[in-house]
Structure formats: structure tokens, C-alpha cells
Amino acid sequence: MSGDCDLVGNFSEISLQGCIMSVNCNVNAGISNFGCPGGPSKGPTVGTMTIAAYAGDVGPIEVGRAGGAVIWQRKYDCDMDVLHFLYVSPGRSFSYGGATDYANIGAESSVRSHIFNASSQSGPSMLYESYDQVEGVGISCSTGPFTVNTGSESGSTFGNLGVGSGDYYLNSFNLDMTNGCFPIVTYSFLFRG
């Protein structure tokens, strides 16, 4: 506890705009043999931050999901004690249902995966989902607090959000649209701790 009023509504440790639902931050020191002289030692400190937010005004909701990943290579400079994140390429992406109106796959594959979701947990009259999911590589989306484009380094790199040092590197992105709920975007970032 940091004070007398630790309400989530008063949380100000990061600098974000938009309707943020949750933030989870974790920082870990790397203890390993990085090929540096002297054997195992403290290496780079890497942080992860996951942010879930309302996607904003996206109009009438049709069930759907979209998401993608970015492939980063990490290089540690022992002499300078600096961790570098090198953009390699966009990773796998997917989209189905209403999310295809808000997220664009960079390079679509001819492969379609049939997915479904059925649960009677809230009663037997619940609706089920059944879609052909578009598969590909790279995705872009401007819905939510961040505009992402996993097909480029600049579209996957963001300024510091208030924790750690240096830029934030998008690791993955998801847009989730469910009937009766506000659409939610989830971002996972890597950063230097």
C-alpha cells in the first residue's frame, strides 16, 4: 500500500489516455551466463506490461476476435549493460466475425481455421459462436488507446509509459468483441526494467 487512498481510480503510476480497465506490470532481473566474463551474473532487467482497455466507439457489436504478435530478438551488450530489442518481423495474426471491420491482416493466408465456442454455463438457451477464422501475418488496428501495426517496427514501438527505461515494444495485441459487452483491446508490451 502506498497511501491512504489506493483506489484503482486514483492509480497514476503510468501515463495513459483512454478507458483503461486493467494494468499488470512485472519486472524481472535476468540472472544467467550471458557469455560475459565472470560466469553467472545479473543481466538485463526485462519488464512486461499488459494493458486491457475499452476499444472505444466501434458501433453495433458483432461477435469477433482479432489479434497478432511481433517477433523481437533481444541482444544484451555486457560491456554497456544495455538490452536491445531488435524488430525481426510480424508474427501470426488472426481475425474473425465483427473484428474484421476494425483490424486488418497484413498478409492473409489461404488457410482458414474453423473455430467455435459453445457453453451452457448460463443456461441451455445461450448463443454459440462458429466462424471461419482468417489467418495471416501482421495486423493493424486503430481501435483503442494505441494504434498498432505489427508489420513495422515503428507501428510496434511506443514511448515510455512511466515504468522502466526506454521505449515499449508490442509483444501481442487482441481485440475481443462479445455481444452485450463493450469491445476490449489487450496489449502486451516488453520494456527495459
In this structure, is residue 101 part of a structural domain?
yes
Query: Whose CA is closest to 177, among 135, 110, 115, 129?
Result: 129
Instruction: Supply the pLDDT for residue 1.
Output: 44
pLDDT in tens, 40-91: 666 778 999 999 998 877 666 788 999 999 999 998 887 888 889 999 999 9
DSSP one-letter string for the chain: --SS---GGG--SS---S-EEEEEEEEEEEEE--S-TTSSEEEEEEEEEEEEEE-----S---EEEEEEEEEEEEEETTTTEEEEEEEEEEEEEEEEGGGGTEEEEEEEEEEEEEEE---TT-TT---EEEEEEEEEEEEE--SSS-EETTSSGGGEE---SSSEEEEEEEEEEEEE-TTS--EEEEEEEEE-
| End-to-end CA separation in angstroms for the chain | 21
Whether 54 maps to a domain, the answer reads yes
The answer to whether position 2 is within a domain reads: no
Q: Of 145, 143, 140, 173, which is closest to residue 161 (Cα–Cα)?
A: 145
- Residue 152's pLDDT band (boundaries 50, 70, 90)? very high
Average the pLDDT over each of 3-7, 132-136, 185-189 and give the range with the smallest value: 3-7
- What is this structure's pTM? 0.85
Range of the domain at 121: 8-192
Q: Count the domains in the chain.
A: 1
pLDDT tens digit string along 86-140? 999 999 999 999 899 899 999 999 989 998 888 888 778 877 888 999 999 999 9
Q: Which tops the pLDDT comparison, 16 or 21?
A: 21
Query: Does a structural domain hold residue 1?
Result: no
pLDDT at residue 118, rounded to an integer: 81
Domain assignment present for residue 90? The answer is yes
Question: Is 3 inside a domain boundary?
Answer: no
